[in-house]
Chains A and B, each alone.
Chain A
Amino acid sequence: MCAVTESSHKLSTIELSVPSELGYEKVVRDTIAAFARRLGFDNERIDDLKTAIGEACINAIEHGNGGVPDQRISVSCICEDERLTVEVRDRGVKPYDGHAAVPSIEQKLQGIAPLRGMGLMLIAQLVDEADFTNHPAGGNLFRLSLYRRRDAAHP
């Protein structure tokens, strides 16, 4: 079956909700990869997307939902024309503190800063846009977008 048969004006959306438990980020990754493949994204972009989504979900599980297993994570994927946007929403047990200074790799290597905590840095390198907002109904909403072609975001 052909992947890119949809006319470009059509908006394609899928929604996914999973338990807030480590391991389920892989189900989210595989599902969104299938969606991107169906929309005709190439494998390299899909790999970037999978890594970024895995990190975003782990952040939501560990931080946003504070490791509370009864919480859930909601993920929406919207594709319009050349851009695929993924929104990861947690329940905001712990709101994102956007003002915390991000430690540098040097600080981490010197042992001044924790070795973990590189997820957002990694995501920023892989996708074209990524930011946090507050969801109107509460919780953190992390949104990332990527264009079909790597250079399309900065023409």
Chain B
Amino acid sequence: MPVAHGQVNKSMTLSNSDAETPDRIVELRLPSRLGYEKVAMDAAASLARRMGFNGDRVEALRTALAEAVTNAIEHGNERDSAMKVLVVLIVRPDELVVSVADQGLKPLDHDQTTHIPNIEETLHKSDKGGWGIWLIRELMDEVEFSTAPSGGNQVRMVIHLEQ
């Protein structure tokens, strides 16, 4: 069976730090139904492990992505399962960029993305939610909220590979 040597044997960990190494992109489209965040978490964890992230960092990524995808399903797409959540993973030699975009039925306002919830107040409220964005900011190295090309909400998270 002919195999194109040299082309397909390149390691996907991209250990060389050549700036000209093209980005490797993985795209995943999911229905807006709770539970599907786990598919995104496993996809990203699989990729991150193979890039050489350690167990703790992979767990941090899983948690941040779970929050981002859950937000997209529950808020951005208002649990309309016909709506899609797009997860784009960009593999670079020294970092993994993860973008999550919804179809923006309910746009996220700026205050929501910068608000730091108060633990004392939360303890006295029946709704203990609202910590997702804060958590994402705690876990990821770079976090940026914007409007997706599709018009929905988009969160872009970066996790650096420390060597």
Contact = CB atoms under 8 A, between A and B. Distances in A.
A31 B27 CA distance: 11
Interface in B1-26: 1, 3-4, 7-12, 24-26
A31 B1 contact: no
A56 to B, nearest CB: 15
A30 B45 CA distance: 9
A26 interface: yes
Interface residues of B, number: 31
Interface stretch (B34-42, B101-109, B141-149): B34-42
B140 interface: no
A95 interface: no
A116 interface: yes
A105 interface: no
Nearest to B46: A30
Interface in A24-66: 24, 26-27, 29-31, 33-35, 37-38, 61-62, 66
Contact of B10 (A6, A30, A69, A114): A69
A62 B38 CA distance: 30
Given A38-B38, A67-B7, A69-B7, A6 B33 contact: yes
A86 B31 CA distance: 16
A18 B88 CA distance: 10
A8 interface: no
Contact of B29 (A15, A24, A116): A15
Given A17-B27, A21-B24, A62 B36 contact: no
A38 B38 CA distance: 8
A1 B4 contact: no
A19 interface: yes
A152 interface: no
Given A13-B31, A27-B43, A62-B8, 5 more contacts: A16-B27, A18-B27, A30-B45, A34-B41, A38-B36
A19 B27 contact: no
B24 A19 contact: yes
A49 to B, nearest CB: 14
A41 to B, nearest CB: 13
Interface string B65-86: 0000000000000000100000
A26 B42 CA distance: 11
B14 to A, nearest CB: 10
